[in-house]
């Protein structure tokens, strides 16, 4: 069985004022091309199929694009296995799962083989079997979505702090993983593969996407069952391995400035009845460039920017501008930058003539956490409707108040 491992598609995402639909659809189409070129049997999407920023019409269009893009893959019997991640909307994904089950009911008994040639979306911990094309063995897939209270805890679980909640979720995740792995091994004699959206603690560098470390749920590497043929992980956007057979595929495109140096790829692996045949290999994706441009002397810098960035029309750019009123025309500077970098996603400017000689670090007044967050959101939401902006800012106010009072957030 040939498997393509991906994760963190974030369909419907935005970066500042830029809708990422075009970029992400290109990457999805690349993934589909790789599935065809490699004659893959299974495509794994290890969480965060959709973005939390996606609007209802964007989600509808994303599903339509997936259906069209993978039509030939599914028609020849290819199977897509996806799980929910921390950025997926649980309610939407559960509705989608119910709709898919209504149209093509999934087998309820784990001892039965799951249907091929379709998408299976797991919104709660489960496992299923898929037959190898040879028909000689089955592969069991243990599907572990990101741990949320709705899916991993019950009303008897009480917690007062973030730390308690995350500890309970971590313990529940490990317990369910062990139970499902044991059940799969009891039923299926072939290899078992884990698909999970989680941080596995190990000796490697990573950063979380739009999440504070204190909010994350993680498990240790020794909580991953040793008998797995492979663990296909999502959640960490930078490709990397916890071990040779425990790997993060990374996201399919660069999603913010923190990923500007990351190469993007998918992983391809072959599994036989004996397990993983060899080390998974990478197939590179044409990731969108993201970078920051600092303008300190508009007259001089603007003259060289077009030469330095000749292919910048597809690039995502953060612009930081320092100009001097009376010498530089801010309106003209912004106009020329728009021509060179039409897909700028954020820009800020400072009139150095207004700073004055006495401004220094000691004279600057430090902003509070609340002021910093709300000012950032106010700037980033400039392209949203007033109603959306007001709702998001109100939500942020409540979350900040919970943090300041030490209360757990929902």
pLDDT in tens, 115-126: 999 999 999 999
Residue with tokens 């019997």: 77
- Residues 164-187: what's their mean pLDDT? 95
- Residues 233-258: what's their mean pLDDT? 95
Cβ burial of 94 (10 Å; 0-12, 13-18, 19+) is: middle
Fold of 2-284: Purple Acid Phosphatase; chain A, domain 2 (3.60.21)
- Map out the domains of the chain as residue ranges: 2-284, 289-364, 365-410
pLDDT at position 282 is 96
pLDDT at position 362 is 44
What are the DSSP calls for 203-241, one per residue? SS----SS--GGG--EEEGGGS-TT-SEEEEES-SS-EE
pLDDT in tens, 299-345: 899 989 989 999 999 999 999 999 999 899 999 999 999 999 999 99
pLDDT in tens, 15-45: 999 999 999 999 999 999 999 999 999 999 9
- Residues 341-365: what's their mean pLDDT? 73
Assign domain 289-364 one CATH number from 3.40.50, 1.10.10, 1.10.3470, 3.30.160. Answer: 3.30.160
pLDDT at position 361 is 41
Label residue 374 by pLDDT band (50, 70, 90): confident
76 φ, ψ (degrees, to nearest 5): -90, 10
Q: Does 109 have pLDDT greater than 50?
A: no
pLDDT in tens, 331-344: 999 999 999 999 99
Q: Does 401 have pLDDT greater than 60?
A: yes
Beta-carbon contacts of residue 363 (< 8 Å; ≥ 6 apart)? none
- Residues 47-61: what's their mean pLDDT? 91
pLDDT in tens, 72-90: 999 999 999 999 999 998 7
């Amino acid at each position: 069985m040939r498997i393509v491992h991906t994760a963190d598609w974030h369909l419907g995402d935005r970066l500042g004022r830029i809708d990422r639909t075009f970029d992400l659809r290109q990457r999805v189409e690349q993934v589909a091309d790789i599935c065809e070129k490699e004659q893959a049997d299974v495509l794994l999407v290890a969480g965060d199929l959709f973005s939390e920023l996606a609007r209802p019409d964007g989600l509808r269009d994303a599903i339509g694009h997936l259906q069209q893009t993978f039509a030939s893959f599914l028609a020849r019997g290819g199977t897509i296995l996806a799980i929910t991640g921390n950025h997926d909307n649980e309610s939407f994904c559960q509705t989608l799962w119910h709709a898919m089950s209504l149209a093509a009911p999934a087998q309820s008994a784990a001892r039965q083989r799951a249907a091929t040639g379709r998408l299976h979306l797991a919104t709660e911990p489960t496992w299923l079997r898929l037959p190898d094309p040879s028909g000689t063995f089955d592969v069991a897939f243990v599907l572990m979505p990101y741990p949320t209270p709705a899916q991993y805890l019950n009303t008897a679980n009480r917690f007062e702090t973030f730390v308690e909640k995350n500890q309970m979720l971590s313990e529940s995740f490990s317990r369910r993983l062990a139970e499902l792995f044991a059940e799969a091994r009891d039923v299926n004699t072939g290899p078992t593969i884990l698909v999970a959206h989680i941080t596995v603690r190990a000796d490697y560098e990573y950063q979380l996407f739009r999440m504070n470390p204190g909010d994350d749920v993680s498990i240790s590497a020794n909580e991953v069952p040793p008998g797995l043929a492979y663990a296909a992980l999502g959640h960490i956007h930078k490709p990397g391995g916890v071990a040779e057979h425990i790997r993060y595929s990374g996201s399919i495109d660069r999603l913010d400035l923190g990923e500007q140096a990351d190469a993007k790829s998918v992983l391809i692996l072959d599994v036989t009845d004996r397990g993983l045949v060899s080390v998974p290999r990478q197939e590179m994706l044409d990731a969108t460039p993201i970078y920051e441009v600092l303008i300190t002397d508009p007259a001089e810098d603007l003259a060289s920017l077009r030469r330095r960035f000749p292919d910048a029309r597809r690039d995502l750019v953060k612009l930081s501008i320092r100009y001097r009123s009376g010498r530089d025309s801010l309106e003209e500077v912004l106009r020329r930058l728009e021509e060179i970098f039409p897909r700028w996603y954020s820009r800020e400017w400072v009139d150095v003539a207004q700073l004055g000689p006495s401004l220094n670090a000691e004279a600057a007044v430090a902003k509070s956490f609340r002021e910093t967050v709300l000012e950032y959101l106010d700037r980033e939401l400039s392209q949203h409707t007033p109603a959306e902006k007001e709702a998001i800012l109100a939500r942020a106010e409540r979350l900040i108040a919970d943090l300041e009072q030490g209360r757990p957030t929902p």
